[in-house]
Structure 1
Amino acid sequence: MSAVIAHLRSRREAHLEQLAAYLRLPSISTLNLGLKEAADHLAGLMREAGVEARILPTKGHPVVYGEAGGPAGAPVLLVYGHYDVQPAEMAEGWASPPFEPQVREGRLYARGAGDNKGQHFAQLKAVEAFKATGTPLPVTVKFLIEGEEEMGSTHLREFVVANRDLLKADIACSSDGSLHPSRRPTLALGCRGLLYVELIAQGAGKDLHSGSYGGAVESPFWRLMRAVQALRGPDGRVRVPGFYGAVRPLGRADREALAGIPDPASELRAALGEGAERIGEAATFYARTQTEPNLNICGFQGGYSGEGMKTVIPGAVRAKVDFRLVVDQDPHKLFEDVRAFLAREGFGDIEVRKLATFEPSKTPADHPLIQKVIRAIGWEGQKPVVYPNFGGSVPDTVFTKDLGVPSVWLPLANADSNSHAPDENLRLDVFHMGCE
C-alpha cells in the first residue's frame, strides 16, 4: 500500500489537471447538453487508468461501465456515480465561470467539482494507482457511472434490472454527498424516499381585476392554502391516515450511530444564521433529518409577486410540496392516500399531480460488511461518522432491492461544497484524501 500512496502523492498536480479537464465539460442532463462528450471523456479516463470501459445505452443518457479485475474469487465492489451535473450560470452569483475551473485558497471551484465528478474521479485514481504500481487490487471493482442522476435517475432501474449479471457484486459503494462538517470520515447507510407533488386550485381560468371582482370572486389562493394546511396538523405531524403506519422504530445500531454523530451546531450556525437556533441537539437534528418522515412546502406559484404592484385575482394557483419518507413507506401508495384524503376533507376540486418519486432504502448498520467498511475507512486515527441515512433521496434501491446487496455511501466532498449552488467547490485536501 505504501507504493500506492506514494504514487498518488507524486501525481497530485497531474490529477488536478485531469479533473479540471473533466469539469470543463458541461454535461447538463436536464438540458441534454454535453452528455455524449462527457461519457466519452470518462470512458477515456477509465482506459488510461487500466480499467476496461464501455459506454452502454439506455433509453436516455448512456451509462459508462468500467471493470478492474481482482484476484480469482475476490469480493466484487460496485462503485456508483454520475457524470451529469446541475445547470449553472454566472448570473446566479458565481465568482468565476462555472465551467472554467479555478483554484482559489485551496479549493477547486467548478460545477460538478463535488457533485459528483470530483468524487468518482478520486475513486478512479485510486484504482489507477494500484494498476500503475503493479499492486494487486484486493477486490474486483466495477464502475457504474450514469448520466441522469440530476433528473431523477430516470432509466437507472431499468438498466440495472436488464444488466443484473454484469453488475453482480457483493457490496455497492457510492461516493456522493458531503462529509460531516467535522471532516471526519463519513458513511451513510441509505436514504429517505421522496414523493413530490403539485397541487392546483382553479379560479376563473384567467386573471381578474381585484377591484372589479374582489368580494364576488375568491382568490384560489385561499382554497389552495386551506388544502395544503389540511395535510399537516399544528403539532407538525402529517394528517394523511396511515402515513406513520409503516415507520419502524429505530434499532439499537442506528440509535448508537445517531448518538455518535458530532454536534453540528457551530457549523450550522455559521451556515444558517438565526435559523440554526432551532436545530436542537445533534442526535435530535440527525434523527429528524435522516430517520423520520416529514412534509415540506417548497413554494407557491400564481398571481403577481414581481416588483411594484398589480391588483389581480389569479386564474389558477399552484403549490409544490415534498414528502420525505423512511424505509417501508411507499411513495406511490402515499400519492393515492393524499388524493383520497384531500377529497374526504372537501378538497376534491384540488388537482394533485405526481412529479417525482424515490423509494426509501436502508442497509442495517450491524451488517457484517458494513462493519468491515467502518473499520477500514478511518484516516489519521479518526473514528468514522455513521449516518443511518442520507436525509435526501438517491437511487439506493437499485442496489439494495434490485441487486440485493448491501449499500454504503462514502462522501468525498467537503460539507461546504455548495452542491447545486453557486461556487460549487472541492477542497484540495479532501480530494487528495479521497484518492488515498
Structure 2
Amino acid sequence: MADSMASVESILAQDADRYVEDLKALLRIPSVSADTAFHDHCLSAAAETAEQLEAAGCSAEIISTAGFPIVLGRSPEVPGASTVLVYGHYDVQPPDPLDEWETPAFEPTIRDGRIYARGATDDKGQMLTHIKSVDAWTKAAGHPPINVVFVIEGEEEVGSDNLDQFLKDHREKLKADVAVISDTSMYGPDIPAITYGLRGIVACEVTLTGPSQDLHSGIFGGAIANPCNELATLIGSLHDADGRVTVEGFYDDVRSLTDQERQAFADLPFDEATFCNNIGVKAPRGEAGFTTTERRWARPTCDVNGLFGGYSGEGPKTIVPSKATAKITCRLVPDQKPEAILDALKRHLEDRLPDGVTMSFMTYHGAPAFVMDPDHPAMAAASTAIDRAFGKPPVLIREGGSIPVVASLKSILDVDTLLLGWGQNTDNLHSPNERFSLKDFQRGIHASAALWAELAK
C-alpha cells in the first residue's frame, strides 16, 4: 500500500494543472438550480460531472428525478473491501448581484493563488477533489483500494426535494460503511479540520391578521389590535434577559457539551474582538453562561429571519396594518426533535395570542442535528490522511449550520458521515467573488487519495 500511495502522490503532482483545467470546465457551466432560465445548463453540469467520473475510471449514470438528475458513479469493484459513499452537488447559487463581481461569475479566473467563480468552493471544487483522487488511484494502480460510490445531485441549493426518494429507491446500490461530504470549511487558513457535529434546523412563518384591510390609524388606532404591535410583543416573549429561549420544553432534550468538548473549543485559536470586527458588531450577545464558539456550534437558538407588515415605502403612512409576518428558524442541537420544537413554538405563540388577531403558522424544511462519535474508526483514518496531505493533524470542530443530507444518509442508509471541508468560511459562499484556494484544492485531492488508503487498512 505504501508503494501504491507513493505512486498516487507522483500522479497528483504530475496532473495538478490538469485538475485545475477540469475544475474550470465545470465552473464555466452556470448550473443555477433556482432559476428555470438555467435549466439546460444544470443538465450540462450533470453531463460534465458524469464525463469526469468516467475519465477517472468510474462507471457513471445520469438518473432522472422529478427535478434535476442525480449522477451515480462507482469505482471498479474491489471484493471484500469497504465502501465509501461520496455526496456532492453540481448546482450553484444564483450569482447576483452581478455588478459586485470583479470578474464574471462563470468565467473562472485565477488571482493570488485562488480560483474565482460561482461554485468554486460550494461545491464544485470541493466535490471534484474526490473524483480526482480516484482518477489518481486509477492511473497509479488501476483502481482505488476500496469501493467508492458517488452521489452528485443538482438540487442542493433549492432544498434537495428529490434526494431522499433517490436514496430510498437505490438503497441496495448505495450500501456503504461511511459517507464523505466536502461541503464545509477548514477552521482557518492552514488549519485543517474534521467537522464532527452540525446543528439541525426547523423553519416556520407566522402571520397575524387583524382587520380585513389596512385602516386609518387616526380613526381606528387604539380601538383595535394592531398586528405589527402584537407580533412584536410575541417575538419579544421568545427570549429572556439572559438570552435563553423561553418556549416551554425547548431545552428538555438538549445534549450538553462534555467538559472535554468545552476545553477543546477553548483551545482553538479564536479572538473575540477580531470576530466582532470582521462582521461589524461592537460585542457578542447570546445565551448567558456560554462562550461565543459554544453558542455558535453547540447551543440551540430561535431567530427571527424576516419581519414585515404594514407600509414600508418612503415617508409616513398612517394605518393600522391588516397583517404582520415573521419568518422564524430554530437551530437545534443533538437529541432535540424538530417536530417537538415546532409544536412547542406554536403552542407558545398561541397561548399568548391576544384577542382581535388570528394566527397562521406555516412550517418549512427541518432536519435534526448531527454529531459523529470522535472515536469512530473512520475519524482516525481521516485524521491520518489529512495530516499526510496538509502536514499537520486536523482539529475537531462543530459548525452551526445544517446539512440535511447528513440526516438523510443516517435515517435512510444507516451510514455516518465524515465532513471534510477544504475551503474557508471567508470564501464568499453564496456571495459575489466566491473563491477557492488552489493550494487547498490540491491538498484536498491529496487528503482524499490518502483517505482511501487509510480506510483500506
Structure 1 length-normalised TM: 0.92
Aligned to 1:432: 442
**Aligned mates of 1:69, 1:384 — CA distance in 2:** 30
**Residue 189 of structure 1 aligns to a residue in which SS?**
strand
Three-state SS of the structure 1 residue aligned to 2:44 is: helix
Q: 1:205/1:91 Cα in 2 relative to 1: closer, same or farther (>3 Å)? A: farther
Q: Contact 2:108–2:117 at 8 Å: present in 1 too?
A: yes
CA gap 1:311/1:96 in 2 versus in 1, 3 angstroms: farther
C-alpha distance in 2 between matches for 1:407 and 1:339: 32
Is 1:31–2:31 an aligned residue pair?
A: no
Summarize the Cα distance change of 1:275–1:110 in structure 2 as closer, same or farther, 3 Å threshold: farther
Evaluate the alpha carbon distance shift between residue 203 and residue 381 of structure 1 in structure 2; reply closer, same or farther with a 3 A threshold: same
Corresponding letter in the other structure for 1:23? L
Match of 2:330 among 304, 323, 332: 323
Secondary structure in 2 matching 1:377: helix
User: Match for residue 397 of structure 1?
Assistant: 407
- Say if 1:89 and 1:97, in contact at 8 Å, map to a contact too: no
Output aligned runs, 1:9-48, within 5 Å: 9-32=13-36, 33=38, 34-48=41-55
Match of 2:56 among 44, 49, 62: 49
2:366 is matched with which residue? 357
Letter paired with 1:268: F
Q: Name 1:288's counterpart in structure 2.
A: 295
Match of 2:103 in 1: 96
Give 1:141-160 correspondences, 5 Å limit. 141-160=148-167
Quote the offset at 1:99 in angstroms: 1.8
1:341 aligns with 2:348: yes
Amino acid in the other structure paired with 2:123: N
One-letter code aligned to 2:238: L
In 2, distance between residues paired with 1:377 and 1:267? 28
1:272 aligns with 2:279: yes
1:307, distance to aligned residue in structure 2 (A) = 4.0
Q: Supply the distance in 2 between the matched residues of 1:8 and 1:147 (Cα, whole angstroms).
A: 28
Alignment of 1:359-378 (within 5 A): 359-378=368-387
Write out per-residue CA displacement over residues 156-208 of structure 1, whole angstroms, 9 at most, x where no aligned residue.
22221222211111111100021112431111123211111111111334333
State the distance in 1 between where 2:299 and 2:291 align. Answer: 10
Please list the CA deviations of residues 238-271 of structure 1 after superposition, one character each: whole Å capped at 9, or x if unmatched. Answer: 1221111111223466445434433254763552
Assess if the C-alpha contact under 8 Å between 1:363 and 1:407 holds in 2.
Answer: yes
CA distance in 2, matches of 1:314, 1:103: 51
Contact between 2:89 and 2:124, CA under 8 Å: does it hold in 1? yes
The answer (yes or no) to whether the contact 2:286–2:295 under 8 Å persists in 1 is no
Whole-Å separation in 1 of the counterparts to 2:58 and 2:24 = 20
1:119 aligned to 120, 126, 130, which one?
Answer: 126
- Give the stretch that moved more between structures: 373-382 or 74-83: 373-382
Instruction: Please state how far the C-alpha of 1:92 moved relative to its aligned partner.
Output: 6.2
- Helix, strand or coil: the match of 1:133? helix
Q: 1:2 aligns with which of 3, 6, 12?
A: 6
Q: CA deviation at 1:22?
A: 0.9
Change (3 A) 1:140 1:364: same
Over the residues paired in the alignment, what is the CA RMSD in angstroms? 2.4
Q: Supply the distance in 1 between the matched residues of 2:13 and 2:313 (Cα, whole angstroms).
A: 53
Amino acid at match of 1:102: T
For residues 222-301 of structure 1, what are the structure 2 equivalents within 5 Å? 222-251=229-258, 254-255=261-262, 257-263=264-270, 265=272, 268-269=275-276, 271-275=278-282, 284-301=291-308
Q: Take 1:269 and 1:6, find their aligned partners in 2: how far apart are those partners? A: 43
Taking the aligned partners of 1:69 and 1:213, their CA distance within structure 2 comes to 74
Write out aligned runs for 1:379-418 (5 A). Answer: 379-387=389-397, 389-394=398-403, 395-418=405-428
Distance 1:208 1:194, change over 3 A: same
CA distance in 2, matches of 1:386, 1:136: 30
Change in Cα spacing, 1:256 to 1:79, as seen in structure 2 (3 Å) is: farther
State the number of aligned residues.
Answer: 433
Alpha-carbon shift at residue 308 of structure 1 (Å): 4.2
TM alignment of 1:54-93, pairs within 5 A = 54-69=61-76, 71-91=78-98, 93=100
SS in 1 for 2:345: helix
After superposition, the Cα gap between the structure-2 partners of 1:69 and 1:189, relative to the gap in structure 1 and judged at 3 Å, is: farther
Distance 2:296 2:284 in 1: 16
- The code of the aligned residue for 1:364 comes to D
3-state DSSP of counterpart to 1:420:
coil
CA distance in 2, matches of 1:425, 1:62: 26
Q: Which runs of 4+ in 1 moved over 6 A?
A: none
Q: Aligned residues: percent identity?
A: 36
Distance in 2, matches of 1:427 and 1:205, equals 55
